[in-house]
Amino acid sequence: MKIRPLVQSLVLLLNNAYLKGFMSGRIYKGPLKGVCVPGLNCYSCPGALFSCPLGSLQAILAGWEYSFSFYVTGLLLGFGAIFGRFICGFLCPFGLIQELLHKIPLFKNKRIIKIPKFFLYIKYVILAVFVVALPVFAKGEFGVGYPAFCKFLCPAGTIEAGLPLLAGSEGLRKAAAGLFLWKALLSAAVVVGCIAVYRLFCRVLCPLGAFYSLFNKISLLRIDPDETRGALCKMGLNPRREVNSLECIRCGDCKRYAKRRPAGLGSSAEVMANTSAHIIHSA
């Protein structure tokens, strides 16, 4: 039995265990909301018990009270130093949603796609501009800004919070206008993209993954390249060379290939054939 889907499912359920919220269309207001989880999970999701670290960081940076969030930054630094992008692979609810979307058989011949490096850097720009710079500097006359990533880009907010809340509230539906349409279209594009390409949002757009990636080479939890095998993993990485690179989410698939077929037994191509995958080298 694979451990990762089990852990991911438990994390998704634990993060969104306030089931009453889905029935009532109201969000949890208890003390757990003061704690940020490591993964991307909108705190306005009716089931959310905890807070989203990105939303919390932006909310504090955009507020008038503090110019820097020691609390959320400390949590993010701690998560990063221990786990790196293991969080993306195991502990991120939106990561699981993307993986489930990729299982939808909408496109034939799904391939492992090696995304060109230029696109992989977009998430760092989003982190710098939308999560940090705009909330800090784009403030109104009362010294209050806005969480730019949540407001303009975050598909987790639209999918996990916007859709269920709007479905249960006529007032919110009436208030939805151009901005909601933009976010809905963007979220639809992310959904289609994730059906076609494994974890497209994670790889190209996610600022939380971008932050954790900075710790991938030094975090306490790493994968030994000598224990890996395979030509290309689902993230489009060569396990031997890139197992602790910025893009590795530590899903551990390369370690499972290695256990199944130790070095010296069979070629990488055979390993990939076992996964029924095709490879595109586009970079």
User: Which residues are near other proteins by CB under 8 A?
Assistant: 27-29, 31, 33-34, 36, 42-44, 51-52, 55-56, 59-60, 63, 65-66, 69-75, 77-78, 80-82, 146-147, 150-151, 154, 157-158, 161-162, 165-166, 172, 175-177, 179-180, 182-184, 215, 217-220
Which residues have CB under 8 Å from 161's CB, separation 6+?
42, 43, 44, 45, 46, 48
Q: How far is CA 127 from the centre of its chain?
A: 13
Q: Which is nearer to other proteins, 150 or 200 (CB)?
A: 150
Q: Which is nearer to other proteins, 72 or 235 (CB)?
A: 72
Query: Distance between CA 144 and CA 179 in Å, rounded?
Result: 19
Q: How do strand 112-113 and strand 279-280 relate by DSSP bridges?
A: parallel
Q: How far is the CB of 105 from other proteins (least distance, A)?
A: 29
Q: How far is the CB of 258 from other proteins (least distance, A)?
A: 24
- Identify residue 72 by its one-letter amino acid code: V
Q: Which is nearer to other proteins, 213 or 257 (CB)?
A: 213
Q: Which is nearer to other proteins, 28 or 201 (CB)?
A: 28
Q: How far is the CB of 153 from other proteins (least distance, A)?
A: 11
Q: Which helix (H) or strand (E) holds 113?
A: strand 112-113
Radius of gyration of the chain (CA): 20
Q: How far is the CB of 178 from other proteins (least distance, A)?
A: 9
* 8 A C-beta contact, residue 21 and residue 109: no
Q: What is the DSSP letter of 230?
A: -
Q: How far is the CB of 252 from other proteins (least distance, A)?
A: 20
Q: Which is nearer to other proteins, 124 or 182 (CB)?
A: 182
